[in-house]
Structure 1
Amino acid sequence: MVDVVGLLRNYFQQARKTAKLAELLATARSSTREAADRPLPRQNTLHRSVVKLLIEDYEAGASPYELAERYNVRRNTVGDTLRRAGFDLTVKAKRAALSEEQKAEARRLFASGATRRELMEMYGVSESTIRRALRSSVELTMS
Structure 2
Amino acid sequence: MITDYDAGMSAYELAKKYGHNRGTIMKHLAEAGIRSRVAVPTVDEIFTWKELHAEGLGFKTIARRVGRNHKTIRKYLLS
User: Is TM (by shorter chain) over 0.5?
Assistant: yes
| Percent identity (aligned) | 20
Unaligned stretches of 5+ in structure 1? 1-53, 137-143
- 2:44 aligned residue: 101
Count of residues in correspondence between the two structures: 69
Contact 2:2–2:29, Cα closer than 8 Å, also in 1? no
**Aligned amino acid, residue 58 of structure 1:** Y
TM-score by length of 2: 0.59
Q: How many Å separate the matches in 1 of 2:47 and 2:53?
A: 10
Q: Does 1:56 align with 2:3?
A: yes
Structure index of larger Rg: 1
Contact 1:96 1:125 in 2 (8 A): no
Unaligned stretches of 5+ in structure 2? 12-20
* Aligned residue type for 2:43: E
| Alpha-carbon distance, 1:111 to partner | 2.0
For residue 57 of structure 1, report the CA deviation from its aligned partner: 3.4
Q: Is the 8 A contact 2:46 2:76 kept in 1?
A: yes
Equivalent residue, structure 1, for 2:15: none
C-alpha distance in 1, partners of 2:61/2:48? 13
* Superposed structure 1 runs of 4+ greater than 4 Å apart: none
